């Protein structure tokens, strides 16, 4: 959860759609575990993908299937520290 706490809420909102697009467009999507996918669906249904827990799962899911794209996205958003933390965690 430390990773998420380092991400301001306004940045989470901006990052949500590009992170979702990583999940929806990736050719490695089968790498995503069904338990994580089910959690993503739960947070999406309840508009909680930018909550602490929801955003954490979204970051983990995107990183699990497209680590380079996710890192690049975070770096471009000035969240290099988050990208590094994520790499350690996943």
Partner 1 sequence: MVKFGIEFVPMDLYWRTTFYTIQAEKAGFDHVWITDHFNNRNVYVTLTCIALHTNRIKMGPGVTNPYLVNPVMTAQSVASISEIAPNRVTLGIGAGDKTTLSLLGVEIKSPLRAIRESVEIIRSLITTGKAKYSGKIFSVQKAKFNFKPKGNIPIYIGAQGPKMLELAAKIGDGILINASHPKDIGDAYQYIKSGAEKVNRKLDEIDVAAYTSFSIHEKEKKAIKAATPVVAFIVSGSPEPVLEKHGISVEDAMAIKKALEAGNWGEAFSKVTPEMIDAFSISGTPETCIERINELIKLGVTQFVVGSPIGPNVREAIDLISREIIPHFKE
CA dist., res. 49 & res. 52, Å (int): 8
Among 37, 51, 67, 77, binds partner 1 (CB under 8 A): 37
Among 11, 16, 20, 48, binds partner 1 (CB under 8 A): 20
With respect to partner 1, which residue has the nearer C-beta, 37 or 90? Answer: 37
Q: Does 34 bind partner 1 (CB under 8 A)?
A: yes
Q: Is 59 exposed, middle or buried (0-12, 13-18, 19+ CB in 10 A)?
A: buried
Q: Does 40 bind partner 1 (CB under 8 A)?
A: yes
């Amino acid at each position: 959860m430390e990773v998420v706490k380092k991400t301001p809420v306004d940045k989470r909102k901006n990052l949500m759609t590009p992170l979702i697009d990583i999940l929806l467009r990736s050719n490695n999507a089968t790498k995503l575990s069904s338990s994580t996918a089910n959690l993503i669906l739960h947070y999406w249904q309840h508009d909680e993908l930018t909550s602490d827990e929801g955003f954490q799962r979204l970051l983990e899911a995107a990183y699990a299937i497209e680590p380079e794209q996710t890192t690049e996205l975070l770096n471009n958003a000035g969240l290099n520290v988050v990208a590094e933390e994520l790499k350690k965690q996943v």
